[in-house]
Structure 1
């Protein structure tokens, strides 16, 4: 199973109806590797998983891994405690680097963005964020449209942003 996420544009309908994604529903699952490869090569989708059906993060969160550089300053007992809290099996690991590698290999979910902070950003700050992350704002005519597109690109959900404006 291949997990694709629309990362460019407002919507995508293609591959003879095999792929349909919108800003509101950016995630697509397909079992066809050729379709997944073609979607990624189109530039409209990013591939998020292969093999078994991926676990989707809760709305407004993204899946990722901890940064090993941030773990370097921790003590071995601190790393062992963190591994235990994360459910990472480190039995038999004694070297700090091995423990860090095991923790970094574990997938974690984290808030994708703070919707209120995003809405409070100045136009200049938003422009810098868009350029840094390579977010496509094609079709966005208002600031609200841009905020929705940025939020979705950062892993948020359209619904969260709609609720934020109410």
Structure 2
């Protein structure tokens, strides 16, 4: 896999909390961005990554995750439009969800167990991705990012507060560990 690993944008960063701009140019720069996004996703051990999660205000996401049958699905979708089953056909999966932009904590979040995304591939050709299981959750999660939503925005106020508290505690512990290591190296 080619591509440069980019830092993951963390919750609270403005680009993560506003809708992204549509992609208008299907060029080498877009393919390079997708390569960087795949490299960044793999380095962070994720299964999906949206453009704004690497600080880029464009409607693109990449994914590499299994569907409900365990079949690995991989690709990039540009300018995606999410379609969910109608309310009479929709079944909810109340599974755990996490996010590379809120590293550490997870929370239970009900999502449709099936989802379809229509958009374009990196060359501008129409593409449709039908997801079940984890892939359905991923398609919904990444499309949310492109609309300026993070999964914690869908949680109850209490659950969101708990996730953010755990996230802040983990960040503080990591910063303290980094300070101890820097002090040890200086000695």
Taking structure 2 as the reference length, what is the TM-score of the superposition? 0.26
Higher strand proportion (structure 1 or 2): 2
Larger Rg: 1
Taking structure 1 as the reference length, what is the TM-score of the superposition? 0.28
